[in-house]
Amino acid sequence: MTEVARFTHGSRIPGWDDAADLEKAPAGVPDPAITEVPAELREAIEAAMALYPDRRSAAIPALHAAQEHHGWCSPEAIEQVAAVMRVTPGELTAVATFYDMFETVPVGAHAVYVCTNISCSLHGADDLYEAMLAAAGDDAGFNVRSFECLGACDIAPMASVDGVYLGPLELADAERIVADVRAGRPPVPEKELVRRACADPGVTTASGPDAEA
């Protein structure tokens, strides 16, 4: 395999703020015969490709699968997806750098997205974000990020912890979330969004509007 220059963080992906290296020859489609791909990752990518009329539509699902497997969209991960999808690493890199949920540098395994958009910030989301950062401290297992509107303004301020929406959160919940995640427990389960009843008082059901509250 040709040796590709890396950035200091280990990736060949420059990101938005760094210029691309125009001297470098573009990488072609990786040779499937010599690119090793973990069996389960290959299976996931091939299953995704089969869902669409055009296999390239599977870029995002395939990168999700690769990120889950490798922890981030590492050069190896991109190379493997490219080999299975028969596209160039450059095409996938373009996709990986565009979307907020793809990590192009190594990050902690537990994703904590704190929504800091308008409705949440009106309820103190910026302080919550600081509290989450402080609670996670230098624990490399956490990836605490401030995120744009997560679509849960009814539980502001809120956070998504490993894909589970939690809110409304108080500053003290930050420590609890970190402790629960470290212990392998569901974090602050009583604040899970899926447990909330509809706010509309006109909603009637056989078991009453507050049945799930």
Partner 1 sequence: MDKLLFRDIDEPGLNTLEIYERRGGYQALRDALKRRPDEVLDQLLASRLRGRGGAGFEMGKKASFLPKGTMDKYLVCNADESEPGTFKDRELMQKNPHQLIEGMIIAAYAAEVNRSFIYIRGEYAEQADILDAAIVEAERAGYLGDRILGSELTLSLVLHRGAGAYICGEETGLLDSLEGKRGNPRLKPPFPANQGLYQGPTLINNVETLSTVPAIVRMGGDAYAAIGVENSSGTKLVSISGHVRRPGNYEVVLGTSSRELIYDLAGGPPEDRGIKLWFPGGSSSPVLTADDLDLSYDFDTLAKAGSMLGSGAIIVVDDATPVVDVALKLAKFYRHESCGKCTPCREGTNWTVRMLERIDAGEATPMDLDIMASVQDQIIGHCLCVLGDAMAMPISSMVAKFRPEFEAHIEAARERHGLSAAILSAAVPQPALAR
Contacting partner 1 (CB under 8 A), which of 95, 112, 161, 177?
95
Q: Please state the φ and ψ torsions of residue 146, each to the nearest 5 degrees.
A: -85, 135
65 scored as a contact of partner 1 (CB under 8 A): no
Q: Alpha-carbon distance 142 to 3, whole Å?
A: 31
Among 4-12, 33-41, 113-121, 173-181, the segment contacting partner 1 (CB under 8 A): 113-121
Residues 72, 129, 142, 165: which binds partner 1 (CB under 8 A)? 165
Name which position in 71, 121, 133, 170 contacts partner 1 (CB under 8 A).
Answer: 121
Pick from 60, 107, 133, 171 the residue near partner 1 by CB under 8 A.
Answer: 60
Q: Which is nearer to partner 1, 111 or 175 (CB)?
A: 111
Residue 74 has a CB neighbour count (10 Å cut-off) of: 21
Size of residue set near partner 1 by CB under 8 A:
55
Q: Does the protein bind partner 1 through residue 149 (CB under 8 A)? A: yes
Residues 6+ apart with CB under 8 A from 80: 30, 35, 36, 37, 38, 41, 42, 66
Q: Does 109 bind partner 1 (CB under 8 A)?
A: no
**Binds partner 1 by CB under 8 A, chosen from 29, 107, 153, 171:** 153
Shortest separation between residue 3's beta carbon and partner 1, angstroms: 27
Distances (CA, A) of 144 to 94, 141, 197: 24, 10, 28
Task: Kindly state whether residue 163 participates in binding partner 1, applying the rule CB under 8 A.
Answer: yes
Q: Which residues bind partner 1 (CB under 8 A)?
A: 51-54, 56-61, 63-64, 94-95, 98-102, 113, 117-119, 121-122, 147-156, 160, 163-165, 193-194, 197-207, 209, 211-212
